[in-house]
Amino acid sequence: SAHGRARILEVRTDRLQRKLQEGFVVVVAGFQGTSSGGGGSQEITTLGRGGSDTSAVALAAALGAEACEIYTDVDGVLSTDPRKVPEAQLMAQVSCDEMLELASLGAAVLHPRAVEIARNYGVPLVVRSSWSQAPGTRLFSSGGRRPIGNHGLELGKPVDGAELLEGQAVLALAHVPHTPGIAALLFEALSNAELTVDLIVQATHEGQSNDIAFTLEENELERASQVCRQLLGEKCELKAQAGLAKLSIAGAGIMGRPGVAAKLFDGLSQTGISLRMIATSEVKVSCVIQGDQGEKALRTTAQAFGLTEAQLRHNPSPSGSGEPEVRGVALDVNQVQLAVSHVPDKPGSAAALCRALADAGLSLDTIVQSERQSQSPMGSCRDIAFTLPKNDHQRALKALGQLIKQWTNAEIITGPAIARVSAVGAGMPCTAGTAARLFRALADAEINIEMIATSEIRISCVVAEADGDRALQAIHKAFKLDINYTN
């Protein structure tokens, strides 16, 4: 009965099936449904934003339709916003995971709720124009069609898998010069040395220096350290740590559901597991932990989210072979950057921060934990920075206000006006040098990067708000998304 934000529990198809078998064209009013009111009476309730597309895909899932076609006023899903990049090209196909990332990052063609249903139940989804016979864009998901369970069509488990990647290492660089091009030089040098980097985070600090940290296989740690020392010299502080593992949870709309990340971090902290690094996205949350705690962390996660043995993966191979390294680029200028300083560097701190926001119904994104440590009466501390929608700014300040009273010297810092530009592609995990090419595009445009956060199929950079459009255009052109390969 929560009008404007209801979720779909079930679609009763008996009447629909009967009319279809009789040869009728059935027109269904979307965006609405019925809920049980007081005394068991049925009341009309509305689904809220994205409700029409969501209704259509839910009907297709319930009916077992061959596909769901969404007719709109554009030719399909484009590689970016054509109002900012006139050369944007139509994508013939895109995976549901890629579309969820793009939709959460600012692309507005499809609402994430509709894409979630298509992904969760394997419904082929097509977006095409009402005004032409063009084939449009086809959305696909792996695994084929899946039945609807008894937990509610839209209320299924947001996490449907977890994986553990062992033999990982972190290379952390502190006091890196805060100048345009430094990230490009660093990751170009690593790529030229044939070193494959996984997660990357960068946190900006006061003054003219940054912290940059990244993960890679531990057998490549020494070579990567040599490359960094040769490039950056002795001014930059370098810390290398091997014997780590990456734990990840995967699903649809993870960051859009407040509490999922907090639940993961809560479970790990309760078993005494510290988080070395955090990476978040709409379809995956990853954290780097001590390697000898990896198996315990995986089992704790499986129990917390009710995962079966078949949903757990050990040391998976990189995915996305044959897929584009970058399929689309998105710009979001509706973000604000917050940082909490002097967060105790101990199990449970990141969980407490995420839990405070989740309890207030707030979803955060682009979480970056600083590599630079400081001291307070509570011991070793770090800063944690994140972005969230501008409309949630004041609520976030209120939600975190009570929490930081427990941490000596902690304070909340609001950053300058920002834009977040992101590249998304299923082929990133098995393509070397993607991050270096993206950073080079921004460097050549003389755009400074304020923050970096990556996940498996996405790279996000926070830049000054005034540089947002130029950053989007530079990245779109760098990956040749402005070229129509069908001609």
pLDDT tens, position by position, 324-357: 999 999 999 998 989 898 899 888 888 888 889 8
Work out the percent of the chain whose per-residue pLDDT is above 90: 55
Question: Do 175 and 236 sit in the same domain of this protein?
Answer: yes
Could you tell me the residue range of the domain that residue 20 belongs to?
14-145
452: in domain? yes
6: in domain? no
Q: Average pLDDT for residues 433-457, to the nearest whole number?
A: 94
Q: Average pLDDT for residues 205-211, to the nearest whole number?
A: 74
Mean pLDDT score across all residues of the chain: 89
Q: What sign for the dihedral angle of Cα 117, 119, 120, 122?
A: positive
Question: Do 233 and 351 sit in the same domain of this protein?
Answer: yes
**Domain end: 99, 115, 145, which one?**
145
CA 162 to CA 284: how far, in whole Å?
A: 9
- Lowest mean pLDDT across 41-50, 305-314, 445-454, 475-484: 41-50
Q: Pairing relation of β-strands 379-389 and 365-369?
A: antiparallel
176: in domain? yes
pLDDT score for 205? 66
Tell me, letter by letter, the H, E, C secondary structure of 295-314: HHHHHHHHHHHCCCHHHEEE
Q: Is the pLDDT of residue 155 over 80?
A: no
487: in domain? no
* Structure-token pair, residue 226: 């040599």
Question: Do 390 and 331 sit in the same domain of this protein?
Answer: yes
**Domain end: 82, 112, 145, which one?**
145
Q: What sign for the dihedral angle of Cα 239, 368, 113, 62?
A: positive
Q: Is the pLDDT of residue 485 over 60?
A: no
What b/e string do you get for 257-290 counting C-beta neighbours within 10 Å, with b at 16 or more? Answer: bbbbbbbbbbbbbeeebbbbbbbbbbbbbbbbbe
pLDDT digits (tens, 9 = 90+) for 392-432: 999 999 999 989 898 988 999 888 889 999 999 999 999 98
Show the DSSP H helices in 64-201 as ranges: 96-104, 112-121, 182-192
151: in domain? no
Work out the percent of the chain whose per-residue pLDDT is above 70: 97
pLDDT score for 279? 86
Question: Do 189 and 71 sit in the same domain of this protein?
Answer: no
374: in domain? yes
Question: Do 167 and 238 sit in the same domain of this protein?
Answer: yes
Say which CATH number the domain at 174 has.
3.30.2130.10
Question: Do 186 and 116 sit in the same domain of this protein?
Answer: no
Q: Is the pLDDT of residue 232 over 70?
A: yes
Q: Is the pLDDT of residue 187 over 90?
A: yes
Q: Is the pLDDT of residue 1 over 70?
A: no
The tally of domains found in the chain comes to 2
pLDDT score for 37? 67
pLDDT digits (tens, 9 = 90+) for 93-136: 999 999 999 988 877 778 888 999 999 899 999 999 999 898 99
Long-range contacts of 469-474 (CB under 8 A, 24+ apart): 469/84, 469/331, 470/445, 471/331, 471/419, 471/421, 471/442, 471/445, 471/447, 472/80, 472/81, 472/84, 472/85, 472/329, 472/330, 472/331, 472/421, 473/84, 473/85, 474/441, 474/442, 474/444, 474/445, 474/447
Amino acid at 437: R
Question: Do 116 and 167 sit in the same domain of this protein?
Answer: no
453: in domain? yes
pLDDT score for 157? 80
**Domain end: 82, 117, 145, which one?**
145
Q: Is the pLDDT of residue 486 over 60?
A: no
Question: Do 210 and 343 sit in the same domain of this protein?
Answer: yes
Cβ-based neighbour number of residue 181 at 10 Å: 18
pLDDT score for 487? 39
CA 361 to CA 392: how far, in whole Å?
A: 10
How far is C-alpha 466 from the chain's CA centre?
Answer: 24
Question: Do 137 and 236 sit in the same domain of this protein?
Answer: no
Question: Do 443 and 364 sit in the same domain of this protein?
Answer: yes
327: in domain? yes
Confidence grade of residue 18 (pLDDT, cut at 50, 70, 90): very high
Say which CATH number the domain at 133 has.
3.40.1160.10
Read off the DSSP letter of residue 197.
P
pLDDT score for 257? 78
Question: Do 210 and 333 sit in the same domain of this protein?
Answer: yes
Question: Do 45 and 185 sit in the same domain of this protein?
Answer: no
pLDDT digits (tens, 9 = 90+) for 252-276: 878 777 788 889 999 999 999 988 8
For the chain, counts of helices (H) and of strands (E):
12, 22
Confidence grade of residue 175 (pLDDT, cut at 50, 70, 90): confident
